[in-house]
Amino acid sequence: MEELEKIRKEIDLIDEKLIELLNARAELVKKIFEIKSKKNKPLFDPSREKKILERLTKKSKGILKPEDIKVIMETVFKIYRGMFKEIVVAYLGPEGTFTHQAALIKFGEKARYVPAKTIDEVFKEVEKKRADYGVVPIENSIEGVVTHTLDVFIESDLKITSEIILEIHHFLLSREKTIRDIKKLYSHPQAIAQCRNWISQNLPDVEIYETESTTSAVKKILNEKKSAAIASEVAASMYNLNIIAERIEDFRENITRFLVIGNNFSEKTGNDKTSILFSIKDKVGALHDILVPFKKEKINLTRIESRPSKKKAWEYVFFVDFTGHKDEPNVKKALDKIKNSTIFLKILGSYPKEGG
C-alpha cells in the first residue's frame, strides 16, 4: 500500500503540472485570439491543428498510441477554440442527426449549433454571417454522393475549410422492449436503404414509412405504440428510447464524409485535399484535355462527378477532388494548364485530408 500511495502522489504532482501547463497554453491562445480578432482572421485553423497532431505523434516516445494523442489533443483544440469567443455552427438538422453528430465531433460542446432544414439554408447561414461555419454531408460510401450539396456549390462563394469522416452505425429505437412488438418502422430513405437486408430478415412484415430525417423518425414514434425508428445511438439517449437492435446496417464499411464550409481557405499541411468545379467547352476530347495535366503533374484524382449546369441543356459542371494543396507548385501548374480548356474554374477549397 505504501508503494501505491507513493505512485499516486507522483500522479497528483504530474496532474497539477498538467493543469499549470494547460493554463499557460490558454494564456497564449488568448493572445492569438486577440491578434486574430484585430486582423479579422478565422479562429478555426484546421491546418494548424493537423500540423500539431502530426508533430506530437512523431515526437511521442512513450506508451501513448497515435490515436490516444489524437483524442487528447482534439479535445484540447475544441475547448480552447471556444474559450474566448463562441463559435456558431450551422448544420443540416434537426438535432440528433448524423450531420449534428459530425459537427459535434469537429467543434465540441463549446460551440453553439444552429440546425437548418435544408443544405441551402446551411450555406445561407454562413453567407449571411449568422454562423461562422456550416457542416453538410457530401458522400456516403454505400449510397454515393449527395448531389444537392454539389449543386449549391455552383452558386456559392463559400470555401471548404475541413472535412469530417464519420462511421455510420444505425440502431433500432423504440418505446417497446422487443423486436416482436414492432409493426411500423420510420426513418430517412437513406437509412432504410442502408439497412434493407436487415429489415427484410428481421422485420419482414413491418410497414415502412419514410421521413425527412432520422430525428423526424424518432419524434414520430415518441407517442406511437408498436413503432420503431432507425436512427443513431445519440438519438436514443437524447429522446430516452430503448435500443432494441444495434448496428443494423447491411455493410460494415458504412462511412459518410461531411464538409465544413466557411469564408476562408485553409493553409497547406503537406497532407491535403483540394476540391474544384469546372465547366468545359463542348468539343470532342474536352474532358480528356482537362485530365491530362493532372496526370503529367502526378496528381491523384480521388473523385470526379458531373452535374447538369441548370443554365443550358446538356451542359455539365464537373466536380473533382484530388490530393494536394492549391498552393503547391505541381497543383498550381495543373490548374494553370486547364484554365484555357474550361468555361469557368472554381477552387472550392484546399483542406487537411482526414484519415492520414
Confidence band for 310, pLDDT divided at 50, 70 and 90: low
The domains found in the chain, sorted by start residue, are 13-81 (1.20.59.10), 89-166 (3.40.190.10), 171-245 (3.40.190.10), 265-352 (3.30.70.260)
Name the band, by pLDDT with cuts 50, 70 and 90, for residue 56: very high
Yes or no: say if 137 and 165 are a contact pair by the CB < 8 Å rule: no
User: Which residues participate in catalysis according to the annotation?
Assistant: 256, 258
- How would residue 312 be classed by pLDDT, with cut points 50, 70 and 90? low
| pLDDT tens figures, 201-218 | 999 999 999 998 888 899
**Grid cell locating 198:** 436487415
Contacts of 173 (CB under 8 A, 6+ apart): 218, 221, 228, 229, 230, 231, 235, 236, 239, 241, 242, 243, 244
- HSE at residue 2, side-chain half, CA atoms within 13 A, is 0
Cα gap 256→140, rounded to integer Å: 4
Does 15 or 311 have the greater pLDDT score? 15
Distance, CA of 252 to CA of 150 (rounded, Å)? 26
Average confidence (pLDDT) over 160-175: 93
Mark out the alpha helices in the chain (DSSP H runs): 2-38, 46-59, 66-81, 98-107, 119-127, 147-155, 189-194, 196-202, 214-221, 233-238, 286-296, 329-339
pLDDT in tens, 225-273: 999 999 988 889 889 999 999 999 988 888 889 999 999 999 999 899 9
Residue 123 — pLDDT band, cuts 50, 70, 90? very high
Q: How far apart are CA 117 and CA 282, in angstroms?
A: 37
CA distance 14 to 105: 28
In the structure, what pLDDT confidence band is assigned to residue 148 with cuts at 50, 70 and 90?
confident
pLDDT higher than threshold 60 for residue 81: yes
8 Å CB contact between 125 and 152? no
Q: What is the chain's length?
A: 356
Q: All 3 cell numbers of residue 13?
A: 504532482
Average pLDDT value over all residues in the chain: 90
Q: How confident is the model at residue 314 (pLDDT cuts 50, 70, 90)?
A: very low
Non-local CB neighbours of 248 within 8 Å, separated by 6+ positions: 170, 171, 172, 195, 198, 199, 202, 230
pLDDT at 311: 63
pLDDT digits (tens, 9 = 90+) for 293-305: 999 999 999 999 8
Bridge partner residues of 65 (DSSP)? none
